[in-house]
């Protein structure tokens, strides 16, 4: 069993190093990324969309060239455990999601996914075994075209110095930066 | 010169592997994370806040335990090149930012940071040399306490199956998921 170019154990080790622990959601996410890749044409310049901030972004960052910091991964929290890998030029891509109906065959996976029991009452060993055995068989897949806002990247535009904090900021945000103008309260 | 536990070259190599190329913003970000760490008490359980989605989140993800997927890194785009590492229990922390006034001593760094010339007209070698020589001397630092919303994590709450897409979603989002209800348009 491979997850992209890794063996299962190699990927689990990378997850532990990057994410802090072998979170079930990233292992499942690894199978999802792997499935999506298998249905993409070679040579596409990829961008990625994660529909949850939980776990899935880290699977994408570990297994694709897309990271939050390089701008090729966008996270929009609609609370669905789903990802899309798409052609950054035209938005066509493959979306992979957890198919709730398919979870019926995997009792502990279903319990974990829908949080049917508190985490400490879940059977971690059984969950790990079912994740590995199920692989991508709990996933659904569809071809999609992402919305324009994910294709046309906005340039940051001109930068200036905020007259209040004296730091660089995008002038298009207004006469002072979003933090100083109170539009985003970051600190107490 | 060390950036956390890495030599400069080791860090540059990790940046290239993770981010795709040795982006100036991540190298600068590495110095920023390193500076912040040096002023934190030992043993704090850390969370991180990045005030820009550009580059800085990747420096944080490479040099701290905080990633987007494990929930310990939050990105709020106020367009300032600044990060905060903070105690996840009480929100106290250290904020490191680029001090615009200090950039005056570094011509090519200033040109890059404020985008005073198109990228292809910038002197990449001079920029790399100035980044390495300046290190954290272009940074400012302040102690802060982050806003409550970054301390109290919201639980996702109960999950259900969306009657439209048949995928799992947080019931608190409404009778159907945010994508199906049209609150977030992800696809064409």
Q: Are residues B99 and B177 in the same domain?
A: no
Which chain A residues contact residue B78 at CB under 8 A? 169, 173, 177-179, 183-184, 186
Hey, is the C-beta of A169 within 8 angstroms of any chain B C-beta?
yes
Instruction: Identify the pLDDT of residue B60.
Output: 98
From CA A82, how far away is CA A59, in angstroms rounded? Answer: 12
Shared domain check, A10 and A59: yes
Report CA B52 to chain centroid distance, whole Å.
Answer: 6
Exposed, middle or buried, A43 (CB in 10 Å: 0-12/13-18/19+)? exposed
What pLDDT is recorded for position A147?
95
pLDDT digits (tens, 9 = 90+) for B84-136: 999 999 999 999 999 999 999 999 999 999 999 998 999 999 999 999 999 99
Residues of B in contact with A145 (CB under 8 A): 187-188
| pLDDT-derived band at A1, boundaries 50, 70, 90 | confident
Residues A30/A11, Cβ–Cβ less than 8 Å: yes
Asked if B26 reaches chain A (Cβ–Cβ under 8 Å), the answer is yes
The residue-averaged pLDDT of A19-34 equals: 95
Instruction: Please give, rounded to a whole number of angstroms, the shortest distance from the CA of B58 to a CA of chain A.
Output: 5
- How far away is chain B from the Cα of A8, in angstroms, using its nearest Cα? 19
- Top residue of A114, A173, A186, A188 to mutate, by most chain B CBs within 10 Å, is A186
Q: What is the CATH number of the domain that holds B102?
A: 3.30.1330.130
Residues B76, B37: one domain? Answer: yes
A19 touching chain B per CB within 8 A: yes
**Mean pLDDT score of chain B, rounded to an integer?**
94
For residue A13, the distance in angstroms to the closest alpha carbon of chain B comes to 15
Whether residue B78 is found in the same domain as residue B47: yes
Give CA–CA dist A32/A63, Å, rounded.
10
In a shared domain, residues B169 and B143: no
A162 and A121: one domain? no
Domain identity same for B96 and B114: yes
Assess whether B116 and B174 both reside in one domain.
Answer: no
pLDDT in tens, A136-155: 999 999 999 999 999 977 66
Question: Which CATH number covers residue A185?
Answer: 3.30.60.80
Same domain flag for A140 and A160: no
**Domain count across chain B:** 2
> B49 lies in which domain range?
2-150
- pLDDT score of B1: 80
Q: What is the ipTM of this complex?
A: 0.93
Residues B151-183 pLDDT 10s: 977 666 899 999 999 999 999 999 999 999 999
């Amino acid at each position: 069993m491979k997850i992209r170019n890794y063996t299962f154990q190699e990927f689990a080790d990378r997850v532990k190093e990057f994410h802090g622990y072998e979170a079930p959601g990233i292992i499942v996410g690894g199978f999802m990324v792997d499935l999506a890749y298998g249905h993409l044409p070679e040579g596409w310049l990829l961008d990625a969309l994660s529909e949850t901030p939980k776990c899935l972004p880290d699977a994408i960052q570990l297994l694709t060239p897309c990271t939050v910091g390089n701008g090729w991964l966008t996270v929009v929290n609609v609370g669905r455990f789903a990802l899309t890998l798409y052609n950054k030029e035209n938005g066509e891509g493959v979306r992979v999601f957890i198919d709730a109906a398919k979870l019926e065959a995997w009792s502990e996976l279903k319990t974990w996914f829908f949080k049917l029991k508190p985490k400490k009452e879940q059977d971690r060993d059984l969950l790990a075994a079912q994740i590995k055995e199920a692989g991508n068989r709990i996933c659904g897949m569809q071809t999609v075209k992402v919305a324009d806002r994910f294709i046309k990247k906005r340039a940051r535009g001109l930068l200036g110095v905020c007259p209040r904090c004296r730091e660089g900021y995008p002038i298009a945000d207004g006469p002072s930066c979003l933090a100083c103008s109170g539009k985003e309260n970051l600190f107490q």
